[in-house]
Each structure stands twice: as C-alpha cells, then as structure tokens.
Amino acid sequence: MSLDRFTCETTTPLNVQADNGTIKRSSWLRSLPLDKATLQRLHMVQLHTISHDQGWVGDPFAGTWTWFELAIERPLPALGSWDLLMNPETKEPYRFQSHHNPQARGEPQSLSGAKFESDHKIWKLIKPGDRLVVSACAQYAEWSNTGLSARIEFWRRFDPPVCLM
C-alpha cells in the first residue's frame, strides 16, 4: 500500500486559560468538509502542534492539565451552521484526545499527537460532509494552554500508476 498526505494548518496563536475544575476548550482549527472519495481512502490522521503550558506547576505529581483533542463537526444545512457530533449515550460530544503539553515547560515545543489509524472509532463515526475540529483544552485554576501553530496531517491510500512495457 502506498500513502500520500495532505494537511490543513493554522499559525494563528491561541491561549486557553482555566479558572477551576471545569474544562475550558477553544476550537482552533477546522478541516475542510471531507467527501466520500477522500474518506474511503483515508488511512490515518495526526495532529501536530507547537505549544506549551503555563511553565510552572505547584505539584508535579498531580498530572498535566493542558491538551489537544479532535472532534467531528456535522453540517446543519437547515441552519447554515455546524454542530459537534454527539454521543447519544452520554449526551456529550465525541472527543478524541490527541496529546498533552509536557508539564511545566514554558517554552514552545514541537509535539505530535496520537495516530488515529483506519481502525480507530473516529473513522466509524465520520460521514461524508463532516469535518474535523481541533480544540485546545485546559483544566484547573492557573493552567494555561498556549498554541502557536497546529497542523492536521491526513494520510491516504493511493494506487501508484502501473508502467507497461
């Protein structure tokens, strides 16, 4: 199998600051709507960021509370808008965690998230016309997620041309 890739990206900075235990999320990047032919050939998606947390932590054993996630947005043609795909059991949007910022690093880091390969649940849920949205997240007082750039990398299967002699 041969693979090629395409990307969508942003270099618009974003900062998400949490106030308490409630998760703060901010949508940062959206793919174009994915058509049926593209979805049939997609093999993997991976998020890459240049980002960092607030640069310090009071208790290093309490975990790290800044991260990035992917979600699916579905068009609502009657309203001319988009909405996150909801899990009917939990009544919450489906969200797929990509990666955390390293703890207490105030300097930007180039980070690569999880590889969502063709057997991942995200590909069972996404339909033609949907798009992926990247959110930056932070939780708990004084935790901050600063993103400088984000890139969604899509890998798709293709059949290379056959040469005849």
Q: What is the pLDDT of residues 39-95, one digit of tens each?
A: 999 999 999 999 999 999 989 999 999 999 999 999 998 999 999 999 999 999 999
Coil, strand, or helix at residue 101?
Answer: coil
The winner for highest mean pLDDT among 4-8, 11-15, 153-157 is 11-15
Domain positions in the chain are 2-158
pLDDT of residue 147: 98
pLDDT of residue 156: 87
Could you tell me the end-to-end alpha-carbon distance of the chain, in angstroms, rounded to an integer?
Answer: 22
* Mean pLDDT score of the chain: 93
> 52 to each of 81, 120, 135, 150, 164, how far by Cα in Å?
31, 27, 14, 12, 52
Q: What is the pLDDT of residues 106-123, one digit of tens each?
A: 899 999 999 999 999 999
The token pair at 121 is: 């649940």
Residue 1 predicted with pLDDT over 60: no
Q: What is the DSSP letter of 31?
A: P
% of the chain surpassing 90 pLDDT: 85
Considering the domain 2-158, what is its CATH architecture? Sandwich (2.60)
pLDDT of residue 162: 64
Residue 22 predicted with pLDDT over 90: yes
